[in-house]
Amino acid sequence: MSKYVPKKEDLSKGILQQESLLTGARIDGDWWDEPFEFRDGNFCHAAKPEVLQELGFPNPRKWAATDDDWLLPAGWEKTIKEGLQEWLKKSRSLKLYLDSCVRCGACADKCHFFLGTGEPRNMPVVRAEMLRSVYRNDFPLAEKILKGFSGSRRLTKEVVKEWHMFYYQCTECRRCSVFCPLGIDTAEMTMVVRDLLNRIGVNNNWILAPVANCNRTGNHLGIEPHTFVQNVESLVDDIEELTGIKVNPTFNRKGAEVLFITPSGDVFGDPGVYTMMGYLLLFHHIGLDYTISTYASEGGNFGMFTSGDMMKKLNAKMYHEAERLKVKWLLGGECGHMWRVVHQYMSTMNGPADFLEKPVSPITGTKFTNAAATKMVHIAEFTADLIHNGKLKLDPSRNDHLKTTFHDSCNVARGMGMFEEPRYILNKVCNTFHEMPENTIREQTFCCGSGSGINAEEYMEMRMRGGLPRAAAVRHVREKHQVDSLVTICAIDRASLPALMRYWNPGVSVYGLHELVGNALVMPGEKRRTVDLRENTMAGFEEEDDDE
Amino acid sequence: MKKVLIPVVMVALLAAIPYLGVTMAGQQYLFGVAIPYAAAALFLLGFLYRLFDWLKRPVPFRITTTAGQEKSLDWIPYSRLDSPATPLQAWVRVLLEVFLFRSLFRNTKAELREGPSFTFASSKWLWMGGLAFHWSLLVIVLRHTRFFFTELPGLVVPIEAADRFIELTLPAFYMTDAVVLSAVTFLFARRLRDAKLSALSLPTDYFPLLLIGAIAAAGVSMRYLDKVDIMTVKALALNLAQLSFDPVPGTIGPIFYVHLFLVSVLMAYLPFSKLMHMGAIFLSPTRNLCNNSREKRHVNPWNKPIKFRTYAEYEDDYREKMRKANLPLEKE
């Protein structure tokens, strides 16, 4: 296990026995006087100077969160205050959410990081107060007359450190927002503060390196075009070996009907590649006229965790490439924050996409009216429609070796409202699907603990703490129903949940939904399948059982 | 406990000011006419200013909190309230939030268990306390309109009658008086008792509760205990309703001036405090927008073109590698 996390027994004991708000201990005085300390496992490496230079970001230097002096640029206070002023002008929601919280405390125990740490600043209301307290100090309000009374404080270097620590212990998952009677969205504040911190060079290499890669090569992993193609082609070979079917994806092909974009983790990461194999099998089987771009080869968007401009800049490639390739519409793979960007930002930022057509499934004729403006359809919507119209022959018993549960990804759940399509598909492609407890799924789903760009190795302790509520819910169905397979529709989940499961629930593997589709798909001309896409033996299909 | 003591002292002082002002300094006009007008003006102008200040700022993106299935494929039922597809549905969502506190109804209490694991039990106390508090305040405010009109407004008659349904005392006991005082006590006590609440509460959270509690206590005591001359009160209120600057028409017990002054403080304080949530709740973008960003483009007034790395620049950098990988090229 990682050197950045204590042994499971020790961390468990720590969480259960520590004096914290979780265990009922009280804090004397004010939350802003509570100490915090950067140590191994609770901070991400700072962005490397060359990464900042490549992006044209300010204050490139070598530094670490554990340093006393963070080498902030001259005038950093002014930069932050002006930045905040700018955001307040641009965004009604920020101003509303800073002004109107009544601190009713409904959100206090809704955050996975609060549940994993017991830290007062991880109560969503206090997370927002970290910014509000500074805002109240510097912006005119009647309450300002009595500063101690209104809970305001000066912006100091200590506050910057506190922000850096605790705005990265928020994964922008928006679970708190579901419970807030005023609909306050903590993610809006986290996004603004991270943007402000980036303006003074307080940053995270695990976010900015992928941003730089994505800008240059087209994807977060920095895969250059020829390698991207090679990798997909090696998946094509694997597919042929396993199924006897030769799929034939094309790249950067003009005139295809559909441009398919998925997170690069699906092309390069384990277990994302198996999900990719599922997509490729499905598209081949239905004869979809599609192409994959090496230039717009990233579905995800770490710009979202950086700044509004960066999100827009990286996202712009999707429409740009769709226009160049003259496709009719876009189809997007399984991903969480990608879909938050596509669903809630894309057409506003980079549209209107008048050069595209309103998406229609060429197989079923279904019009995806809900994507009429953005012209991008989610793969789960697409596949659910295929199944509903009887276009796929599926043998769910091919997934009988898996006992599954489904993890709703935060962004797809609370930023898009997609709950039924993946469940519909999952129920069609496997026979054993057990839901986790109701307060941990759907709109109340818990984050994997590593979303919003904190999936770094050196952040392992925080990830294991933040992921604990999710892991505990999986453990519940593991003990009750012997669940061994956690199915998701998010690439960050596929990258982060395996580590979380190894730590808290050994024996649970992580799957993408379309990997299971790929397993279950019965295709003409396929060879007798005895193993699944990751070459695990299927139950009931073993060769020795073949008595025919 | 400074956080609680400051507001306690403040409210006590605020209550003492009119009491002394009336009994010692004879400032009935100041506390009965001048300050209420000033406070009402501050309230109105302040409230409108704050609303305008919010409304003038753009909503750049359509960011809803979806707590239910989106409208997608025809055969999948969608959640009209939690993933609204039309403005009407979104406004029903907002109004249910305003009148029934739907989001608070969802509230759960997380508890750490061995494992470590968690249980999430339904927790409706805050929802009940909050509803009781806000609804009784609304009824009380509506009831008070009787002072400002010679004839009770039609809408208020049944509300008033229902409120004194239980005739225990003389004058008739108002249920909302008991409810609001209990609710304030509950809301105050939970901030003190719960470790999380006590950590996150600020003096500005205790102050309005205490202020409203003191207003209610003063009101209750002059109705049931230290009774004041109700006809003179009504005469003063009618004067105020007609924007008259006449002197206070008679003698009223000092407890009335305490009540009225604290109400004035509350009115003047409201627009500049968290109490503006009564306006903000209607404007919250996560609740009042439709979840239809992919169906209908939302326009951001400050959206501007951005320079991004184009395909042409990308191909220029990787042309050789792309050629070797047999990728189609724009320029050979």
Three-class secondary structure of residue A498 per DSSP: helix
- DSSP state at residue A218: S
Report domain B2-324's class. Answer: mainly alpha
Return all residues near B299 (Cβ < 8 A) that are at least 6 apart. Answer: A348
- Is A184's CB within 8 Å of B284's CB? yes
State how far the alpha carbon of A456 is from the alpha carbons of A281, A470, B321, in Å: 32, 18, 30
Q: Rounded CA gap, A83 and B95, in Å?
A: 34
- Nearest chain B Cα distance for residue A530, angstroms: 34
Q: How far is B145 from chain A (nearest CA, A)?
A: 27
Question: How many CA atoms within 13 Å lie on the side-chain side of A134?
Answer: 24
The ipTM value here is 0.95
Contacts of B299 in chain A (CB under 8 A): 348
Distance CA B320, CA B269 (A): 69
Nearest CA in chain A to B301: A90
Query: A388, A351 in Cβ contact below 8 A?
Result: no
Mean of the per-residue pLDDT values of chain B = 95
Residue contact A417–B291, C-beta within 8 A: yes
**How confident is the model over A207-230, as pLDDT tens digits?**
999 999 999 999 999 999 999 999
- Name the minimum distance, in Å, from the CA of A351 to any CA of chain B: 8
Nearest-Cα distance to chain A for B164, in Å, is: 30
DSSP string covering B222-282:
IIIIS---HHHHHHHHHHHHTT--PPP-S---HHHHHHHHHHHHHHHHGGGSGGGHHHHHH
Cβ contact, residue pair A381, B101, below 8 Å: no
Chain center to CA of B325: 62
Rounded Cα gap, residues A64 and A72, in angstroms: 12
Give CB contacts under 8 A, 24+ apart, made by B9-18. B10/B207, B10/B210, B11/B207, B11/B210, B11/B211, B11/B214, B11/B262, B14/B211, B14/B214, B14/B261, B14/B262, B14/B265, B15/B214, B15/B218, B15/B258, B15/B261, B15/B262, B17/B261, B18/B254, B18/B257, B18/B258, B18/B260, B18/B261, B18/B262
Residue ranges of A 269-288 with Cβ closer than 8 A to chain B: none
Domains and CATH numbers, chain A: 27-203 (no CATH), 218-388 (1.20.1050), 396-520 (3.40.50)
* Residue of A121, A230, A348 best to disrupt the B interface, most CBs of B under 10 A: A348
Answer whether B128 touches A (CB < 8 Å): no
- Strand A404-407's sheet: what is its strand order? A404-407, A485-488, A509-512
Residues of chain B with Cβ-Cβ distance to A30 below 8 Å are 3
- Residue A420 C-alpha, separation from nearest chain B C-alpha, in angstroms: 7
Query: Chain B 171-210, CB below 8 Å of chain A: which residues?
Result: 190-191, 194-205, 207
* Angle of the B156-163 helix axis to the B125-148 helix axis, nearest 10: 120
Q: What is the pLDDT of residue A548?
A: 44
Chain A residues near residue B191 by CB distance under 8 angstroms = 105
B116 with A345: Cβ contact below 8 A: no
- What pLDDT, on a 0 to 100 scale, did the predictor assign at position A140? 56
B79 to chain A: nearest residue by CA? A417
Chain A residues inside the 8 Å CB shell of B309? 215-216, 313, 317
Q: How far is B151 from chain A (nearest CA, A)?
A: 37
Domain ranges (residues) in chain B: 2-324
CA distance A434 to A404: 6
- Chain A contact present for B1, CB below 8 A: no
How close B89 comes to chain A (CA, Å)? 15
B118, B270, B278, best to mutate vs chain A, most A CBs in 10 Å: B118
> Which residue has 């900015």 as its token pair?
A208
CA distance B237 to B245: 11
CA separation for the pair B306, A316 (Å, rounded): 9
Spans of chain B, pLDDT less than 70: 167-170
Contact (CB, 8 A) for A436 and A474: yes
Q: Which residues of B touch A252 (CB under 8 A)?
A: 327-328
What is the distance between the alpha carbons of residues A492 and A411, in angstroms, rounded to a whole number? 11
Q: Nearest-CA residue of chain A relative to B3?
A: A149
Give me the residues of A, 486-545, that contact B with CB < 8 A: none
- For residue B150, the model assigns a pLDDT of 86
CB-based contact B87:B64 (threshold 8 Å): no
Question: Quick one: how far is CA A228 from the chain centroid?
Answer: 22
Nearest chain A Cα to B296, which residue? A373
Distance CA A163, CA A156 (A): 11
Residue of B nearest to A358 (CA): B295
Peptide bond into B249 cis (omega under 30): no
Q: Which of residues 328-357 of A touch B (CB under 8 A)?
A: 342-345, 347-349, 351-352
Give the residue ranges of chain A where pLDDT is below 70: 139-148, 543-548
Q: What is the pLDDT of residue A147?
A: 62
B196/A417 CB distance under 8 A? no
Q: At what angle do helices A186-199 and A76-90 cross, to 10 degrees?
A: 140
Q: Are A125 and A92 a contacting pair, CB within 8 Å? A: no
- Tell if the CB–CB gap between A27 and B199 is shorter than 8 Å: yes
Test B204 with A149 for CB contact under 8 angstroms. yes
Rounded distance between C-alpha atoms, residue B79 and residue B146, angstroms = 42
- The answer to whether the CB atoms of A108 and B196 lie below 8 A apart is yes
CB spacing of A123 vs B196 below 8 angstroms: yes
Question: In Å, how far is A528's CA from the nearest CA of chain B?
Answer: 33
Q: Is the pTM of this model over 0.90?
A: yes
Contact B294 A472 (CB under 8 A): no
pLDDT tens-digit readout, B31-53: 999 999 999 999 999 999 999 99
For residue B69, the chain A residues in CB contact (below 8 A) are 417-420
Tell me the H-state helices in B168-202: 175-193, 195-200
